[in-house]
Structure 1
Amino acid sequence: MAFSPLRFVAEQQIPLPLEQVWELLSNTDHLNRTLGLPPVSYGAPVDTKEGFYREASAQIFKIFSLSWKEYPFEWIRNERYTVLRLFEGGPLERFFGGVELSREGPGTRVRVFADLTPRNLLGRLIAPLAGQKGVRNTLNYCAKFLELVGSRAEDPLPRPRQRNRTSQKLLDDLLAKLEGLPIQAALIPRLRHRLLEGTDAEVLRMRPFALAELWKADPHEVLRLFLYATKLGLLNLSWEFMCPNCRVAKAEYLTLVQASSRFHCDTCGADYEANLDQYVELRFSVHPAVREAESTVYCIAGPANTPHIIAQQYLPPGAERELSLSLGGEGLRLRALRYNQIASLNRTPDHLRAGDDVPLLHLTYTEGGWEPAPLSYRPGLHRIRLWNRSSKALVAVLEKVRWDPYAVTAAQVTALQEFRDLFSSEVLAPGQQIGIENLSILFTDLKGSTSLYESVGEAPAFRRVRMHFEFLTERIKKNQGALVKTIGDAVMAVFPLPERAVRTALEVQSQIAGFNRSLSVEPPLILKVGVHHGPAIAVNANNYLDYFGRTVNIAARIQRESLGGDVVLTEELFQNPAVQQVLKDFKFEPAIFRTHLKGIEGEFTLYRLSLELPPRS
């Protein structure tokens, strides 16, 4: 006996902005957890003639098990999402449901629906209970969120009732010790609240920069809080290796020593080389002695799991789909999930925009990829028509090119002096090499150090050199960089951002005279400084994290072009927009010159910035 699907719908107007409601409901893992649904076990993706799906199962009331094929979520950001589940045995045959949002005055109209197809008479009895309860509870979840927003809760996300498995005495003892460390004390109560009240998922693999936005705090200060909390044993750190396509963690290591330079993504079906400035992310979890937290999954593929994806659509062979959505001015691309063929969407220059009609972007997918590719677009409302002419099911993903702004990358954190001081053992395995696409390298050296030793004697000269190392380290640390090593009287430092490296270089040169006066250094110390930015290789050098490659070699050679009292930059670094903003804070006149650098091919255009300007005529 075949049963027809039963539809259950509930809708309500919520007096909150549509974007805020989307952020709430698109986090399907947290939604399912809070609604009391059971955790789910997922298998690896299956790609067959039947389609693209994952095998999934869950224990219902710990009595019986449900198994199903879960097909990819489909969504358009800030508009709707749906999911299809085909059950394998049991009282239900099929579930298709989701959420639809639309603007209604200053608020949002929320429509929740569920289509349940019974397999047998038991399913016919269960479906109305499950369907009505599911859609009603989702609206109750929205109402609870609205109530918490009205109470001005810092984090109004509704949470399930849970058994507290926290050792509160140990937590408070460690937090008391944290108060004595050089971190912002105002952040400690927020960390305590998170560790006590957060769900298990919210205290595992925490992201400091994301919490900084929630707490309206300085991201760097929140990161420092987490680093010191880890050193005390309140938290543990881990290194997550992120797939460069789906941007989901695919491997986890407790230390960099354990890390492999290659990892596999089962969703994309590809192997990748690790890259420290994008694909390796630092996350933090509560220490199990402080709180027991289970790593359980309630939904693996909802929109919030991949926030860089604007729209995702599932197209069987031969299917055609038209979407209507608004595109901003950011870099976008269309990607075929699993097969990874990409079509870039490039923004049309402003002067080429024309017409008031809604533009149509028509893309066809075949075994050979997208046609045509790339495409141009102008910001605004678009119709996007997708046609799958391949022989397999297609999951088409429209996504932002820009990497996650909340990621604390390995390149960022290993270029922080405090991280190196606190976790000196966090290095790569001997012989391991991992690339970094963007790193700023600063080299300094003392001018005339040989004559210094001759004129004042070895012991006084060495004391001054050591004090000058402290002077440099203090300013490197202040600008969120790290001292990598000293080489005789020279210093090598790294920074995650070029503007911080340049600011450090200029501050050092502008303040070295005051340093000399404060210590009555005679003859005064004169510094030669050079800065460069580019890709590098991270390696283990005598159990310290070090960097090698052409960028490092160029930076070292550029420093040799310094005359003393100046800063030498490459042309590309000087023209960097963020560096240009830093240069506005200093008075100098650049001198441009071209030269060959020893051992480096080609001629370089360099900028010499001298802070000791001659009187203006």
Structure 2
Amino acid sequence: MEKTLEIAHELTFDRPVEEVWTLLSDSQRMHVISSAGFSPYEAEDVVTADGSIERAAVKSIGPFKLRWRERMGEWAVHEYFSQARLFESGPFQELTVHAYFDESDGKTTIKALFFAKWSGLLGSALARLGVLHWMTRQPVIAMRKTMAEYENLRLPVPRSELHTVSGRAKQRLAQAMKEIEKGPFGQGLTEPLSNFLLKADPHSLRRIRPLKLAGAWAVPEQHMIELCIAAHKAGVLSMRWAIICPRCRDGKADTENLADVPSGAHCTSCNVDFDRDFVNNVELVFSPSAWLRALPSGSFCMMAPANVPHIKWQEVIPPGQVVDKELDVPQGQYRIRTVEAGSEIIADYDGRSWVGVTLNGEAVQSDPARSGRLISVRNVGTDPRTIVVENANFSRNRLTIGRLATVPAFRDFCPDQLLGAKQTAGIGQVAILFSDLEKSTSLYESIGDASAYALVVEHFDFVETRVRRHGGIIVKTIGDAVMAAFSDSEAALNAALDIQNEIGEFNARDDRPALSLKIGIHEGTCVAMRSEQGLDFFGGTINMAARLQSKAAGKEIVLSADLARSDLRTKIAQYDTKWDKASLSGFEKPVEFVRLHC
């Protein structure tokens, strides 16, 4: 005879729901840092008949070897989540948890409902002995411990060190960090990073994302990137490249070297194949080296909502039913799809109205006639479908080769991280600076080739120092010219201003001819390819920057019109500027630009 039991628990925390959700919907991290008796299990993704994925898992608890399947959970961000396990062996047939979040006066109450089902004598005996009540108390204990262990929910470092690290490993870490701090890339962040590596839970350390840490710790992204790369060089961190699944956003096909990143990958969790895209879905992540922290393998649940923050709503829609849902999300572009294989649509949410959605088998269709404040999803098919509403844009926290290509530490410490001989990588926005000497021919004639060349090489060092000061790199030198790259145009302009403003000091050294520099700057996308120097950049952005430099006079910086009208316009207004227009080689129409005289 089939028997069931429902058990309820309620907790209240003096925190807003956004903060509580961030921690307690991350069941993997919550279980790892708690002492509630949880341990990871081995799982395999299995494709079902309808194209969805279930996770088949095996775990031994005492004398029992449990086998179960769990489907992807259901949740609405900041509101609820649920997860069910359907057992194929063991004393119980089903264990399901539903957690509901409610905020009032800055406090968040969580109502956790647990449902158990069994039919055998062993299940009845365990229920009478209070085992089910004990089992349901463990997640509650984990929730309380998780909240208590964090000094600040924005910093992923627990209050105390929960994980055993040998004294020898701590000493080795301290010495490595001391050496890093002596160099240019410590930035005063070595102590926080050491604390994080020693105290953070293993789940947080599996994929350390420097840009995410920079946001959490409110420090410049460039500093955090350089620190992680320096820590890799010191042997503290290991690095690997992953192709990010466009659906679950989890990393697949990990490789240690950029050249080995495959052209595509398969995500077993989503049952989709996808291509490599260096601009969007190939990222560099870090983890502690094995001598410092050996991370356990295995999983705790199929998909914790906090681990996929781009997914705002996920829920099963039964056939023939309509679900109207209010979502707590900002305006923006959202992808609407199903967990099961099928099509998808992109919806622009203006903060007031959603487009209606119809599910018909594998088809996901928009229905403007049912647009409204609530998102209305109708399943007209014969099978249940799991709706997914997710942020359509990839997270900016991804550290891609486009961002790394302009980081000095990456070029200094990772010379082996190169694209394959025939690989090209599309690079997102990058600012390119070209500088060249004015009247260099007369310089060689006046002091001779050897002396002029020595002076030119010395001037290369002068330019590189100012470029690196503002977080840029020298891509290459071409004759007397320098090509530099920066992650943003403001850094490029600041470097150019320092070069022009400080060249006088350079010229004042010894008794030698004064050098006058011409500089051009443009920002845009480009393509990276392997070169003898590491990575070289090609494309229209490079050509435009070079052509703008050719129009500059000595002591001038020439900026493309787009840059001059961007966020740089306030800074540019402080200088003597002149708008100009000219035909540039390789460009059909005359190009408008601004001359900035220093």
Check whether TM > 0.5.
yes
Counterpart in 1 of 2:586? 599
Q: Residues 396, 472 of structure 1: CA spacing in aligned structure 2 closer, same or farther, 3 A cutoff? A: farther
Deviation string, structure 1 residues 590-609 (Cα, Å, up to 9, x no partner): 413142x3234x31432122
Secondary structure at the counterpart of residue 603 of structure 1: coil
Counterpart in 2 of 1:588? 576
Alignment of 1:170-569 (within 5 A): 170-184=172-186, 186-337=188-339, 339=341, 341-348=343-350, 361-366=355-360, 367-372=362-367, 382-390=373-381, 393-518=384-509, 521-522=512-513, 524-542=514-532, 544-569=534-559
Question: How many percent of aligned residue pairs carry the same amino acid?
Answer: 28
Q: TM-score by structure 1 length?
A: 0.87
Supply the distance in 2 between the matched residues of 1:391 and 1:521 (Cα, whole angstroms): 85
Task: Determine if the alignment matches structure 1 residue 102 to structure 2 residue 102.
Answer: yes
Q: Which runs of 5+ in 1 are unaligned?
A: 354-358, 613-617
Q: TM-score by structure 2 length?
A: 0.90
Report if the CA contact (8 A) 2:29-2:204 is conserved: no
Alignment of 1:25-104 (within 5 A): 25-33=24-32, 34=34, 35-49=36-50, 52-61=52-61, 63-104=63-104
Report if the CA contact (8 A) 1:101-1:109 is conserved: yes
Matching residue's letter, 1:112: A
Report if the CA contact (8 A) 2:94-2:116 is conserved: yes
Supply the distance in 2 between the matched residues of 1:117 and 1:253 (Cα, whole angstroms): 43
Secondary structure at the counterpart of residue 290 of structure 1: coil
State the superposition RMSD in angstroms: 3.0
Following TM superposition, by how much is the alpha carbon of 1:150 offset from its aligned partner in structure 2, in angstroms?
A: 6.9
Deviation string, structure 1 residues 81-140 (Cα, Å, up to 9, x no partner): 111222223222122213111013331111111111114221233357454234433333
Q: Residues 559, 316 of structure 1: CA spacing in aligned structure 2 closer, same or farther, 3 A cutoff? A: farther
Q: Residues 271, 518 of structure 1: CA spacing in aligned structure 2 closer, same or farther, 3 A cutoff? A: farther
Q: Residues 228, 254 of structure 1: CA spacing in aligned structure 2 closer, same or farther, 3 A cutoff? A: same
Following TM superposition, by how much is the alpha carbon of 1:215 offset from its aligned partner in structure 2, in angstroms?
A: 3.5
Supply the distance in 2 between the matched residues of 1:280 and 1:514 (Cα, whole angstroms): 43
Counterpart in 2 of 1:356? none
Following TM superposition, by how much is the alpha carbon of 1:241 offset from its aligned partner in structure 2, in angstroms?
A: 1.7
Supply the distance in 2 between the matched residues of 1:517 and 1:180 (Cα, whole angstroms): 31
Q: Residues 57, 149 of structure 1: CA spacing in aligned structure 2 closer, same or farther, 3 A cutoff? A: closer
Matching residue's letter, 1:24: L
Secondary structure at the counterpart of residue 300 of structure 2: coil
Q: Residues 13, 120 of structure 1: CA spacing in aligned structure 2 closer, same or farther, 3 A cutoff? A: same
Secondary structure at the counterpart of residue 223 of structure 1: helix
| Farther-moved stretch of structure 1 (562-571 vs 115-124) | 562-571
Secondary structure at the counterpart of residue 326 of structure 1: coil
Following TM superposition, by how much is the alpha carbon of 1:163 offset from its aligned partner in structure 2, in angstroms?
A: 4.5
| Farther-moved stretch of structure 1 (334-343 vs 238-247) | 334-343
Matching residue's letter, 1:121: L
Following TM superposition, by how much is the alpha carbon of 1:514 offset from its aligned partner in structure 2, in angstroms?
A: 4.0
Secondary structure at the counterpart of residue 52 of structure 2: strand
Supply the distance in 1 between the matched residues of 2:406 and 2:268 (Cα, whole angstroms): 31
Matching residue's letter, 1:599: G
Matching residue's letter, 1:17: P
Report if the CA contact (8 A) 2:30-2:143 is conserved: no
Secondary structure at the counterpart of residue 136 of structure 1: helix
Supply the distance in 1 between the matched residues of 2:240 and 2:369 (Cα, whole angstroms): 38
Matching residue's letter, 1:172: A
Following TM superposition, by how much is the alpha carbon of 1:486 offset from its aligned partner in structure 2, in angstroms?
A: 0.9
| Farther-moved stretch of structure 1 (74-83 vs 339-348) | 339-348
Supply the distance in 2 between the matched residues of 1:428 and 1:236 (Cα, whole angstroms): 19
Q: Across the two proteins, how many residue pairs are aligned to each other? A: 593
Supply the distance in 2 between the matched residues of 1:521 and 1:401 (Cα, whole angstroms): 58
Report if the CA contact (8 A) 1:24-1:157 is conserved: no
| Farther-moved stretch of structure 1 (309-318 vs 417-426) | 309-318
Counterpart in 1 of 2:568? 579
Secondary structure at the counterpart of residue 365 of structure 1: strand
Counterpart in 1 of 2:133? 132
Deviation string, structure 1 residues 474-533 (Cα, Å, up to 9, x no partner): 2221222221111111112222223323333344334334433356652x3222222233
Report if the CA contact (8 A) 2:564-2:594 is conserved: no
Counterpart in 2 of 1:113? 113
Matching residue's letter, 1:333: R
